[in-house]
Chains A and B, each alone.
Chain A
């Protein structure tokens, strides 16, 4: 009887310690999760800013100005344009 009681006592102490440890680990893991979620949020925000920057640099107005002024590009002269007709089904 006494031995059984001692055994149960040890078991219950072990269980209690296990609960404490797992609770601690849960909280630690949760802190990690939180910081990862914050990082996700930060990356998403950076993504919107990059999209914004990209679209600002790529506005048609700016592209057109760069093409015609800096690079000296122009629309092809119709007299030198050759229209090629594709074979039937070649578009697919």
Chain B
């Protein structure tokens, strides 16, 4: 008997289509799932991932700091340091009386002042205190008051204060350079903030770096050619001289005689870049770079150099300057003190206008015009400072004889102090003009030949005579060192004529002569005292700055025999030391460093 016959239930056979239907349904279900999965994985993936990332991914800003400015020895001149600003959202602020008092103590604000700040409940943002030290901010945040927040900012500090003010300049809001090297080197100094995408966990910690959208780039360090020690000396001496002679202003430039680097540059009046509340254009003006003046006799050495170089005169050629004046057309040129017959060397030594004019008129105008042009007058000196003045030098083809004559002693031409100082590099480099640089140089530039080595040596010898007892500037002498230089006392042009009692007194010199290290150029604007000659006003500043600079750098004296002659001169510095010992404003200058 068959199995089916014994169990009748098995004979109840289901219809075949029913199982097929179930199979189709199940397969259909699978197909739908796969289609959906394919859609999610392949078609809608971008949208879904973006949504997912928005739930846990965050873009984080990465701040970059502004680069420091340093002097040639690595001393910081401008540094950015982080500070915190505390702000509140009065709308969401929950604070009771005890907390308010604690907060006012932590912020060093009067409770009343604090109440006023948070009085407007509809506002969402109010600064409670800006730019406080991170330590102080941490104490404020430790109070745990909801609705109080902190914000990181960078503040720029200038440790050298007013001594460096005109060189370094300052930054304005948004941390961008406004003046000086801060403006000139903005591209290198400025930091570029970056951003990156991260995954944060429930506690707000960053757990994974997804990608760096933009790497932050800190600003570069900028190293200046300035030597802070010399800058300080120059600042002290110039400030004292401006006060002594009641001058309207003054400027002083020290160049390295061999590299053309600007190792010090100061102006008076000055300002404190850390506190710019009373800033005026008069104080911020960088006189040595952007102010033009008629230099006067400090240009005579170039007239003589041109004449010697072209063979018009020899150093011992005699020039008749009596009776101390000469007439060209309707104009008369005169000397401050009449001299008789002078050699070319004595024209420099005694600073004779008539002598210089006569030598000048013996040359074609082209010779002098080209020399002035080659020396860089009438063109920006390319030192890297913002606002460099070009100066005015009329083309020599248009010079009238009287202009040619006055040009010989530095009138009818306007220059900046920096240009004059630079022009003097031909005397310290065997006749080659050096390019100047505000940034530290790695190598010594070769320079452009302007006059012959013999001429440069010869004119230097004449300028050494100018600082001798018989010259115009015996007060420029530096005990222990051989120096050379030239005075300048120029009447100021005012409204088309020369003002009667307004002078610019200057002195440009260099030393030690055995191997020149520095060129010092000093200029005082309208000295109002009894003395206004460059030899009385500018020369003593030159002497003290040059002497102190050479001693500071331990340059061996090349004329030790003169050391004992002027015993008083060296102790001068001591008498002028500040009378009050100032504690550095520590709390104000160094946030976060607590005693």
Contact = CB atoms under 8 A, between A and B. Distances in A.
B581 A66 contact: yes
Chain A, interface SS category = helix
A83 B557 contact: yes
Interface in B226-273: 228-229, 232-233
Contacts of B228: 60
Contacts of A70: 581
Given A45-B134, A75-B574, A34 B205 contact: yes
Given A49-B81, A52-B76, A74-B571, A62 B480 contact: no
Nearest to A51: B76
Interface string A19-51: 000000011001100100000000001101111
B76 A78 contact: no
A83 B554 CA distance: 11
Interface stretch (B11-19, B316-324, B560-568): B560-568
B76 A53 contact: no
A65 B583 CA distance: 10
B208 A30 contact: yes
Given A45-B81, A77-B571, A78-B480, A61 B208 contact: no
B151 interface: no
Interface residues of B, number: 50
Interface string B557-595: 100100110110011011001101110111001111100
Contacts of B201: 27
A62 B589 CA distance: 15
A44 to B, nearest CB: 8
A56 B584 contact: yes
Contacts of A68: 574, 577
Contacts of A55: 75-76, 79, 159-160
A66 to B, nearest CB: 7
Contacts of B591: 49
B157 interface: yes
A3 interface: no
B159 A79 contact: no
A27 B206 CA distance: 9
A62 B584 contact: yes
B189 to A, nearest CB: 14
B527 interface: no
Nearest to B77: A55
Contacts of A64: 577-578
A5 interface: no
B315 interface: no
Contacts of A30: 206-209
A65 B229 contact: no
Given A55-B159, A59-B159, A83-B563, A74 B574 contact: yes
A56 B159 contact: yes
Nearest to A53: B590
A87 to B, nearest CB: 13
B207 A53 contact: no
B207 A52 contact: no
B564 A75 contact: no
A61 B564 contact: no
A50 B68 CA distance: 14
A65 B578 contact: yes
Nearest to B233: A60
Contacts of A45: 81-82, 134, 592
Nearest to A82: B560
A90 to B, nearest CB: 12
B6 to A, nearest CB: 36
Contacts of A66: 581
A48 B574 contact: no
B577 A69 contact: yes
A81 interface: yes
A74 B576 CA distance: 12
Nearest to A75: B570
Contact of B577 (A46, A51, A65, A85): A65
Given A48-B79, A49-B591, A66-B581, A31 B205 contact: yes
Contacts of A77: 567, 570-571
Contact of A61 (B134, B573, B582, B590): B582
Contact of B232 (A31, A53, A61): A61
A60 B232 contact: yes
A91 B470 CA distance: 37
A92 to B, nearest CB: 15
Of A55, A65, A77, most buried by chain B (CB within 10 Å of CB) is A55
B538 to A, nearest CB: 23
B593 A53 contact: yes
Contacts of B79: 48, 51-52, 55
Contacts of A46: 592
Interface string B150-171: 0000000101110100000000
Contact of A83 (B80, B556, B580): B556
Contacts of B205: 31, 34
A43 B233 CA distance: 34
Nearest to B551: A75
B534 interface: no
Interface string B117-147: 0000000000000000010000000000000
A59 B593 contact: no
Contacts of B574: 68, 74-75
Contact of A49 (B75, B479, B592): B592
Nearest to B162: A61
26 contacts: A30-B206, A46-B592, A48-B68, A48-B80, A52-B76, A52-B159, A52-B590, A53-B589, A55-B75, A55-B159, A57-B584, A59-B159, A59-B160, A60-B233, A61-B163, A61-B232, A61-B582, A64-B577, A65-B578, A68-B574, A74-B571, A75-B570, A77-B567, A79-B567, A83-B560, A85-B556
| Ranked 5 nearest A-B pairs via Cβ | A55-B159, A60-B232, A53-B590, A56-B584, A27-B207
Given A30-B206, A60-B229, 16 more contacts: A27-B201, A30-B209, A46-B592, A51-B76, A53-B586, A53-B593, A56-B590, A59-B159, A60-B232, A61-B578, A61-B582, A65-B580, A74-B571, A75-B574, A78-B564, A78-B570
